[in-house]
Amino acid sequence: MPTKEHKAGVVSDLDQFFANGKVAIVADLSGFTVAELTHFRRSLDKANAKVKVTKNTLVKIASKNTEFEAIEKLAKGPTTVVVGYDDPAAPAKAVVETLKSLKKGSVKGGVLEGKCLSKEEVKGLAELPSKEQLLSSIMGGLDSGARGIAGIFEGLIRDIALLTEEVAKKQNNA
């Protein structure tokens, strides 16, 4: 039976776990083997996310008075908490894809910006493009806009040069 000091240490670890997090995803990983859990953890490393499996009461205590307080609605039964520290879509995508590939486990929901997300909303978040993809499409749009403006100015300068040439020819003929 864990002592109060041990529980306080776990809560302190969970406080650090939640610190600077952008999104929390709650999943049920019942029946996972050690190899599958290791695969799950490694898939989250690529998404700058971490995973913790601990008692629900300790998760509720650690998340109290934080933006993840809504996690208490989801922390029932076997619970695994994944916290993403950068792009909120990346951990959701990693969790959903890994659970789908292993054909085990399920998403219970999540917390984003202090709001509780249903499992459908987490799956929707997983379908969003990554931050890098969004930034590259914005840059592509800006680049094409700049090229369009440059083309317009180039055409305008060419037209002015042709007009000047025609005026010079008329003055020479006159």
Burial of residue 161 (CB within 10 Å: 0-12, 13-18, 19+) is: exposed
Question: Which of 47, 41, 42 has its CA nearest to residue 21?
Answer: 47
Q: What is the pLDDT of residue 174?
A: 64
CB 58 within 8 A of CB 95: no
Reported as a single tens digit per residue, the pLDDT across 16-58 is 888 888 888 888 888 888 888 888 888 888 888 888 888 888 8
Reported as a single tens digit per residue, the pLDDT across 122-153 is 888 888 776 777 777 777 777 677 677 777 87
Please compute the mean of the pLDDT values over residues 160-168 and round it to a whole number: 81
Distance CA 67, CA 56 (A): 17
Question: Which of 130, 39, 121, 60 has its CA nearest to residue 91?
Answer: 130
pLDDT band at 1, cuts 50/70/90? low
* pLDDT at position 165 over 60: yes
Write down the domain spans for the chain: 4-128, 129-174
pTM of the entire predicted model: 0.67
Structure tokens at 76: 């029932």
E-state strands within the chain: 23-28, 49-53, 80-84, 106-112, 115-117
Question: Which of 100, 138, 104 has its CA nearest to residue 122?
Answer: 100
CATH superfamily of 4-128: Ribosomal protein L10, N-terminal RNA-binding domain (3.30.70.1730)
Reported as a single tens digit per residue, the pLDDT across 57-90 is 888 888 887 888 888 888 888 888 888 888 888 8
- Return all residues near 7 (Cβ < 8 A) that are at least 6 apart: 58
Reported as a single tens digit per residue, the pLDDT across 84-125 is 888 888 888 888 888 888 888 888 888 888 888 888 888 888
pLDDT band at 7, cuts 50/70/90? confident
